[in-house]
Structure 1
């Protein structure tokens, strides 16, 4: 029975193996130098779909298109800085993982620190208001009797145990 099952699975794998194979491989350049340049440039660029992955590591369809575009620009003889300028011109400074420090990118550079400072200031303000709102007043006579009764009960139950 086991041999029949193995034989059946082998035949099935041989006949249907073409449909079960992996997807098409990503196109690669003819030379390794182009691929190295592509990897270096793509690692400096942000995937516009994923936004938290580099263009080199993204599997998004747009990322594949942009890698093909970069590969074509490399084949056309463009320098790395010309390719980077092309991408920034087309998609803005956000496409770069490390955008240049200029007036239009100040929020990208200092926005997180500014938000953190605003949050810390709001927390300190809240804590100060809360501490001022707490009144330090003595217990009333009734509250004092209740406390003594509770403590007296606790003390007597501890002595019995």
Structure 2
């Protein structure tokens, strides 16, 4: 990645505006390559002969969580348990089960955790509400911080208040005393 950025920088070295955008362009290129080359973990021996059933199996597999991997579908995971679950989904489809029957079977066996998108129920309410609440709280905290910060900046930019005549006289007296003390120490 660094070599790509350096090569592009050397080609566009005269144009400073391009140099700012090269890292962004490199990142877009990398993400684009990752998106295009998304390989699935489904092995050739797992593929069903009927294309319609295979499409159903793939669709179901994309919505099921691998119990071994972190938030990865069984369609994308190469873990042995994910392979077993993919085969189980295909067996149930080949036996004539509907998509909902396959999902119900897996939820009965593994619980709602097997679903990548858990259902909206009272038991899963914290999962659904926690993220928006955390985002709203973080946004409010950021808004409050920026507001306090802008007030502090404005206060610092304002000119300090002028000294009253009494304060100026007292300051002049202190400066005179300090100068006298400094001259005595030199002598």
- What TM-score results when the alignment is normalised by the length of structure 2? 0.50
1:139–1:75 CA distance, 2 compared to 1 (3 A): farther
Which residue in 1 is equivalent to 2:75?
56
Distance 2:147 2:55 in 1: 56
| Cα contact 2:71–2:116 (8 A) shared by 1 | no
* Pair 1:88–1:139, CA change in 2 (3 A): farther
Q: 1:29 and 1:131 mapped to 2: Cα distance?
A: 63
Partner of 2:122: 103
CA 33–130 in structure 1, closer or farther in 2 if over 3 Å, else same = closer
Q: Where does residue 113 of structure 2 map in the other structure?
A: 94
Deviation at 1:30, TM superposition (A): 4.2
Mind listing any 5+ residue stretches in structure 2 that lack a counterpart? Answer: 1-42, 169-187
Q: Distance in 1 between matches of 2:162 and 2:84?
A: 74
Spell out the pairing of 1:30-45 with structure 2 (5 A cutoff): 30-45=49-64
Deviations 1:44-63 (A, max 9, x none): 22223333332222222221
Write the distance in 2 (CA, Å) between the matches of 1:94 and 1:125: 37
Q: Report the count of equivalent residues.
A: 118
Report SS of the residue matched to 1:104. coil
Deviation at 1:67, TM superposition (A): 0.4
Picking from 49, 57, 65, the partner of 1:46 is 65
CA deviation string 1:15-72 (max 9, x = no partner): xxxxxxxxx8443334334322211211222223333332222222221110011122
Match of 2:142 in 1: 123
SS at match of 1:49: coil
**Coordinate RMSD, CA, aligned:** 3.0
Task: Please say if residues 93 and 105 of structure 1, whose CA atoms lie closer than 8 Å, have aligned partners that are also in contact.
Answer: no
Separation in 1 of the partners of 2:127 and 2:93?
A: 29
CA distance in 2, matches of 1:139, 1:76: 89
CA gap 1:139/1:120 in 2 versus in 1, 3 angstroms: farther
Q: TM-score, with normalisation over the residues of structure 1?
A: 0.57
